[in-house]
Amino acid sequence: MKIAVLPGDGIGKEVTTEAVKVLRAVLGQDAALELIEAPIGAAGIEAAGDPLPPATTEIARAADAILFGAAGVPGDETIPYAMRPGASLLRLRKELGLFANFRPAFLFPELVGASSLKPEIVEGLDLMILRELTGDIYFGEPRGIHTLPSGEREGYNTMRYSESEIERIAHVAFRTARQRRRKVCSVDKANVLETMQLWREVVTRVSREYPDVELTHLFVDAAAMMLMRAPKQFDVMVTGNIFGDILSDAAAMLTGSIGMLPSASLALDQKGLYEPVHGTAPDIAGRNLANPIASILSMGMMLRYSFNQPGNADRVERAVRKVLADGYRTGDIAQPGCKQVGTSEMGDAVAAA
Ligand code: NAI
Ligand code: MG
């Protein structure tokens, strides 16, 4: 197992350390495990003058899977794109063709009380948001800020999807639904945007190859509302890059904390990048406060998707559940009467379990 470990910045470093700790525990001493660490984000600038040093890209390319922490610094968005720490991940995803982003939202029974919503709305929640990751308005050209004849400036970005880009993510959605409850909800804004009219048309066309999977469509605004009102109706929700970004963060709130949510981003060749959904959390970084469970569960997804080790993936998830059932909580999910612990203590507890 050759794994590129890219901790990045802020709490990315702290939580990745714990995920590696649990990985070693679940595989045991004798496992043929090759971990290659490389800098990315602000750490990349510090080490090599580039948020995505070419050497880091090469290490990621040569590995079977990538365990990523988080990248970015406060004020990130004011730094030019090529030197922006937070953009390093977007560049890496594009380089490796990681177009399919799996963001599960599920609620551990132990954390029903930590959700922002009523227990009857979220109890038993288990949905998979599948976000297209290498297209859409985040990458579309032309983009920029220009000056109008009036002297006023104008910003512009372009929402673009080709038929083949929509087709491949649609196939992933239907195949994923076949492993689950055989329901796909495609989210778009076809009532306003031509790009999304094409999206709906192509998803509908692909669905004919999967007659055993039920397909529904929702506009993104309605989808946001339904996610808050009745999220248990969803199985697989497939959508473009920007809508998926927003909806999956909203779904995070259903589950208690963004610190609990893992993700996987896969390429056509099944190479995967695994990372917590959260960012570098500068407000709590460096203080042993971050919840490492999102990173630990991301590592579990890596065992499942990139290394075909469902047994070990299940062991990781069961260990997390046991630790939660035993009352261990980091600050973000703390409840009255819990055993409040720090990042490294939580990692120790999961590794021991
Ligand atoms: P964030 O996810 O870093 O933080 C949002 C809030 O959630 C903060 O209050 C933070 O303390 C809390 N939080 C996040 N993860 C947590 C954890 N594991 N345990 C406990 N609390 C946690 O998002 P924000 O503040 O919008 O971005 C901060 C920086 O991270 C920015 O520079 C941004 O560009 C970068 N970022 C990087 C991402 C990535 O590398 N994938 C994703 C999102 C943001
Ligand atoms: Mg986001």
pLDDT per residue as tens digits for the range 121-151: 888 889 999 999 999 999 999 999 999 999 9
Among 156, 221, 283, 326, the active-site one is: 221
Among 9, 13, 138, 328, the active-site one is: 138
How far is Cα of residue 37 from the mean position of the Cα atoms in its chain?
20
Nearest ligand to the CA of 249 is 2
Among 245, 271, 274, 328, the active-site one is: 245
Residue 161 annotated as catalytic: no
Residue 21 annotated as catalytic: no
Vertex 306: Cα angle to 235 and 250 (nearest 5): 35
- For ligand 2, the distance from its centroid to the CA atom of residue 260, given in whole angstroms, is 14
Ligand 1 atom nearest to CA at 282? 28
Q: pTM for the whole thing? A: 0.89
- Domain 108-256 = CATH 3.40.718.10: yes
pLDDT score for 110: 83
Q: What is the pLDDT of residues 228-269, one digit of tens each?
A: 999 999 999 999 999 999 998 888 888 877 899 999 999 987
Residue pointed to by tokens 């590995």? 63
Judge if the beta carbon of residue 280 lies within 6 A of ligand 1: yes
- For ligand 1, the distance from its centroid to the CA atom of residue 278, given in whole angstroms, is 5
Residue 328 annotated as catalytic: no
Q: Residue 294 burial by CB count (10 A; 0-12/13-18/19+): exposed, middle or buried? A: buried
Cβ-based neighbour number of residue 57 at 10 Å: 19
* Residue 326 marked ligand-binding: no
Q: E strands along the chain, which residues?
A: 2-8, 34-37, 65-70, 100-106, 126-132, 144-147, 153-156, 183-188, 214-219, 236-239, 262-266, 272-276, 328-329, 339-340
- For ligand 2, the distance from its centroid to the CA atom of residue 250, given in whole angstroms, is 9
* Residue 208 marked ligand-binding: no
Instruction: Decide whether 1-99+267-353 matches 108-256 in CATH topology.
Output: yes
Residue 81 annotated as catalytic: no
Q: Yes or no: say if 319 and 350 are a contact pair by the CB < 8 Å rule.
A: yes
Instruction: With a cut of 70, list the residues of the chain below it in pLDDT.
Output: none
Residue 4 to residue 16: CA distance in whole angstroms: 12
Residue 45 to residue 55: CA distance in whole angstroms: 12
All residues at 6 or more sequence positions from 325 whose CB lies less than 8 Å from its CB, including other chains: 110
Ligand 1 atom nearest to CA at 72? 32
In the chain, domain spans: 1-99+267-353, 108-256
Judge if the beta carbon of residue 86 lies within 6 A of ligand 1: yes
Q: Which of 66, 280, 328, 329 for a ligand 1 pocket mutation test, highest count of atoms within 8 Å of Cβ?
A: 280
Q: Yes or no: say if 114 and 123 are a contact pair by the CB < 8 Å rule.
A: no
Residue 221 annotated as catalytic: yes
Judge if the beta carbon of residue 341 lies within 6 A of ligand 1: no
Judge if the beta carbon of residue 11 lies within 6 A of ligand 1: yes
Judge if the beta carbon of residue 72 lies within 6 A of ligand 1: yes
pLDDT score for 211: 98
Residue 12 to residue 292: CA distance in whole angstroms: 9
Residues 10, 14, 15, 16: what is their CA dihedral angle, to the nearest 10 degrees? 100
- For ligand 2, the distance from its centroid to the CA atom of residue 37, given in whole angstroms, is 24
Predicted ipTM of the assembly: 0.98
**Which whole-number Å values give the CA distances from 15 to 12, 21, 287, 330, in the listed order?**
6, 10, 12, 12
* Residue 221 marked ligand-binding: yes
- Which pair of structure tokens corresponds to residue 340? 């409040």
Fold of 1-99+267-353: Isopropylmalate Dehydrogenase (3.40.718)
pLDDT score for 121: 84
pLDDT score for 270: 77
Residue 297 to residue 292: CA distance in whole angstroms: 9
